[in-house]
Amino acid sequence: MSTPPGKLIAVDAGLARIGVATCDPLGITVRPLVVFQRGSRNEDFDHLVAIVAEQEAEAVVCGLPLSMDGS
């Protein structure tokens, strides 16, 4: 039996907003946490670091934004 992944944070970074979701420690259920307006790179990073610490996440998964044509 493999070890559960622990609590994860998923980040979907768009041009205007960043969406953040989390899963339970077993990786079974997912729920949205917050969507926030983008600021400076440092502001965005600080906001994400605070969320990761508050949620006691073990890892962060980031989406790769692509257009429908893959560009």
Residue 3: inside a domain: no
Tell me which residue range forms the domain holding 26: 8-62
pLDDT value, residue 20: 97
Please state the pTM of the whole predicted model.
0.81
The residue type found at 49 is: V
Residue 56: inside a domain: yes
pLDDT value, residue 65: 73
DSSP category for residue 46: H
Looking at the structure of the chain, the number of domains it has is: 1
* Residues whose CB is less than 8 angstroms from the CB of residue 11 and which lie 6 or more positions away in sequence, other chains included: 18, 19, 20, 48, 60, 61, 62, 63
- Coil, helix or strand for 48? helix
pLDDT, block means (10 residues), the chain with 71 residues: 78 94 87 97 97 94 80 72
Residue 69: inside a domain: no
Query: Which tokens is 26 given?
Result: 């077993």
The candidate with the shortest Cα–Cα distance to 25, out of 53, 54, 59, 62, is 59
